[in-house]
Structure 1
Amino acid sequence: MIARSTRLAGVAACAALMVSGCVSTTAGPSGQYASPIGNAPVTANPTPYSTALYCLADYARRYNLPSPRIAVGRISDYTGTVSADGGRQITGGASLMASTALAKSGARLVERYDTSVSELELRYANNKLIGDEGPGGPSDQQYRRILAGQVPGSDFYVVGGITEVNYNIRSGGFDAGMGEIDTNRPGSGLIQAKVFVMNVAMDLRLVQTTTLEVVDVISYQKQIVGREISAGVFDFLNGNVFDISAGGSAMEPTQLAVRAMVERASVEFMANLYGAPGPEICLDTANEPLRDTYGPTGGYYPAYPNTDVNNGQTRADPSRWHDRRDGAVRRTRY
């Protein structure tokens, strides 16, 4: 009995040493106690509707269809749901998702969601506190002038909100257990499997800025599925206790479902504004190489006329600029 207890104590001590060996209480040469795990690169975050947005941008470019100026307002979470840890259950960033989705479609965006910096600089410029470099170089500072009509107006804006979160629309599962009748051969096993479905819904509207007329209204919902599987064995063998279990769980990302709804609504809004007949516009890929200022990561305004050679075409490449995956990047430790 004493020998068995000694063995168990030794095993526990070895396990503790192995765990403590991974974390030190003394900072290493890098100034850190431990290096973070994980090396997944930054990737694009598309949804099944992203390709349709690119098709709309291609279609507008192919037929020289001008995009109206579009602003994004508040797309708030009106469900009031709170997660178990006290944070928001549903993202508060749907407005930001809408800006990205509209940029993928080639829309001309004007900022109205957060104008705090522009308003502050406008006040400073109005008081002649902001200077810009003049023709004479850095030493020739001139105060920034405010010109009438320098801020372009929007033609339409998008507002709305997340209006539904419905938990446990349907769930199911099973538990199965097994045990020994003979007390001299104790042992048991258990297997569990569970599946549940919930959904989120969103209501958006497109408003004409000058008249405040609601010209388009869209309501969508998306179901989300989750599953959990686990199994375990509990047994006594020669006086030793063994409790072994394993399992896995997965849940469709809730916030990605919100992004998918936003992108689907943006597809419908922009298809109407462009006059696109339907998904058949994606069959013509003749002008796809023109896809230079928009793509899986959104869209941008080119700072220089070099869209054929700049980094716009590689923004969705997961290895680009990564110091361990891109050989062109110098691996310098700072």
Structure 2
Amino acid sequence: MAASTSTRRSLARPIALACAAVLALGACASPSAGPGGLYATPIGNAPVTANPTPYSTALFCLADYARRYNLPSPRIAVGRISDYTGTVSSDGGRQITQGASLMAISALGKSGARVVERFDTSVSELELRYANNRLIGDGVHPETPDDPGYRRILAGQVPGSDFYIVGGITEVNYNIRSSGADLGGGRADGAGFSGVFRGRTFVMNIALDLRLVQTTSMEVVDVISYQKQIVGREISAGVFDFLNGNVFDISAGSSGFEPVQLGVRALIERAVLEMMANLYGAPGPQVCLDAANDPLGTFGATGGYYPAYNNTGTNNAQTRSDPSRWHDRRDGNVRRGRY
């Protein structure tokens, strides 16, 4: 009887701990919405940050160079930059980003290029059709009350492009080279502890082919092909031991894989950088050595924009890259004005 009671007591503690853990996990998510209307509060508080590549700094440096010397930018459009590799992941999705054209538009914005929209013209075409049927009104001006106020279509109101960029992602080569090592050790009789160490390195690459086409003549005036290698690493170690009838298995490790899609963005930014440097007539990277760069420029790591008001002193490309700006937990201005 005493042994049975002791056994029950020994089992009661782990069962109680398991129940407490279940209750604690249950408190994190509830089937009933709380006062704020949420079942659970999302974890994570990382702020929104800029998404530069090693070539972003050179892009907006090139934009400052063009503005400093009043170098005109041709009007450039971006067409389809497709994924021609056809790679598909195990869950059915694409391995390579389908947004390469959008990355090229952002890169052109960083370089200070004059960009005209040709990638998605659905809204403009719809409004043009509405305006042609006199369905869109811009309001009656008080000085001309007899004016019906509908939007007029003027000949030549849409600027044309001088050049456009097209191309595609043409290569994905997995496991160009891999290497690793496994080390393990322990006593042959099983006494004492045993340990294992494992390390792995993988290398793959992606490639891009872009071309710059003159719109009026459809002549290909520039062609660029680049590739970039991607590296991944994995390290793990563990210890296994028997101690006083108990089993201990302790392991730890870390792994990292260079972002493939960020590699695609780097390829595109390098290609756009070379094309725009040619169109600006820039001699090379030495243009970035000029100390006359405007620190309040409208080109930066997040792209370029045309200021609608004279507020570049407080709203410019540099402030757009600040991870604390507009964040309700990091920016005191937002906290003080919170409702």
Check whether the contact 1:132–1:141 (CA below 8 A) recurs between aligned residues.
no
CA distance in 2, matches of 1:245, 1:49: 39
Paired residue type of 1:324? R
Counterpart of 1:298 in structure 2 is 303
Verify: 1:175 aligned to 2:182, yes or no: yes
Q: What is the DSSP-based 3-state SS (H/G/I as helix, E as strand, rest coil) of the residue aligned with 1:216?
A: strand
> Letter of the aligned partner of 2:305 in structure 1?
Y
Q: CA deviation digits over 1:53-110, x for unaligned, max 9? A: 1121121112111000000110000001111222111101111111111111110000
CA offsets 1:102-146 (integer angstroms, 9 cap, x no match): 111110000000000001111111111111113129x97511111
Q: TM-score, normalised by structure 1?
A: 0.93
Residue 73 of structure 1 contacts residue 158 of structure 1 at CA under 8 Å; is this kept in 2? yes
C-alpha deviations, 1:140-183, integer Å up to 9, x for none?
75111110000000000000000000000000111122233224
The residue type equivalent to 1:208 in the other structure is Q
Kindly indicate whether the alpha-carbon contact (under 8 Å) linking 1:233 and 1:244 is maintained by their aligned counterparts in 2: yes
Q: Helix, strand or coil: the match of 1:74?
A: strand
Could you say what secondary structure the match of 1:328 adopts? helix
The Cα RMSD (Å) is 2.2
In structure 2, distance between residues paired with 1:194 and 1:32: 42
Structure 1 residues 153-302: aligned runs within 5 Å:
153-183=160-190, 185=191, 187-289=193-295, 291-302=296-307
Task: Flag structure 1 segments of 5+ consecutive residues without an equivalent.
Answer: none
Whether the 8 Å CA contact 1:199–1:223 is kept in 2: the answer is: yes
Question: Does structure 2 retain, via aligned residues, the 8 Å contact 1:324–1:331?
Answer: no
- Displacement of 1:187 in angstroms is 4.5
2:326 to 318, 321, 329: 321
Q: Which is strand-richer, 1 or 2?
A: 1
Could you tell which deviates more after superposition, 164-173 or 25-34? 25-34
Q: Alpha carbons of 1:295 and 1:73: their partners in 2 closer, same or farther (altered >3 Å)?
A: same
CA contact (8 A) 2:201 2:234 kept: yes
How many Å separate the matches in 2 of 1:332 and 1:65?
Answer: 42
One-letter amino acid of the structure 1 residue matched with residue 223 of structure 2: V
The answer as to whether partners of 1:323 and 1:331 remain within 8 angstroms in 2 is no
| Cα contact 1:292–1:308 (8 A) shared by 2 | no
Q: What is the aligned partner in structure 1 of residue 156 from structure 2? A: 149
Deviation digits for residues 200-256 of structure 1 (CA, Å, limit 9, x no counterpart): 000000000000000000000000000111122233333333322211111111011
Amino acid of the structure 1 residue aligned with 2:177? R
**CA spacing shift, 1:177–1:10, aligned 2, 3 Å:** farther
**Structure 1 CA distance, aligned partners of 2:74 and 2:12?**
78
State whether residues 167 and 210 of structure 2, in contact with CA within 8 Å, keep that contact through their aligned partners in structure 1. Answer: yes
2:107 is aligned to 101
TM-aligned CA distance change 1:312 to 1:295, over 3 Å: closer
2:54 counterpart residue number: 48
Find the residue that maps to 1:82 and give its secondary structure: coil
Q: After superposition, give the CA deviation of every residue in 1:173-201 in whole Å (9 maximum; x if it has no partner).
A: 11122233224x36432221111000000
Distance 2:98 2:299 in 1: 24
Match of 1:16 in 2: 22
1:32 corresponds to: 38
TM-score (norm 2): 0.91
Structure 2 counterpart of 1:294, one-letter code: F
Q: Distance in 2 between matches of 1:268 and 1:311?
A: 25
Unaligned runs of 5+ in 2: 1-6
TM-fit CA distance, 1:2: 5.6
CA contact (8 A) 1:110 1:154 kept: yes
Q: For each residue in 1:271-293, what CA deviation from the matched residue of structure 2 results, as whole angstroms up to 9, or x when unmatched?
A: 1001111111011021323x522
Mapped partners of 1:141, 1:232: distance in 2: 79
| Aligned partner of residue 18 in structure 2, secondary structure | helix
Q: Which residue of structure 1 lines up, in the alignment, with residue 4 of structure 2?
A: none
**Does 255-264 or 233-242 show the bigger shift?**
233-242
Change in CA separation of 1:21 and 1:188 when aligned onto 2, cut-off 3 Å: farther
3-state SS of paired residue (2:76): strand
Equivalent residue, structure 1, for 2:138: 132
Percent same amino acid among aligned pairs?
74
Partners of 2:303 and 2:317 within 8 A in 1: no
Write the distance in 2 (CA, Å) between the matches of 1:311 and 1:269: 25
Alignment partner of 1:86 out of 92, 110, 118:
92
For these two proteins, the number of residue pairs brought into alignment is: 332
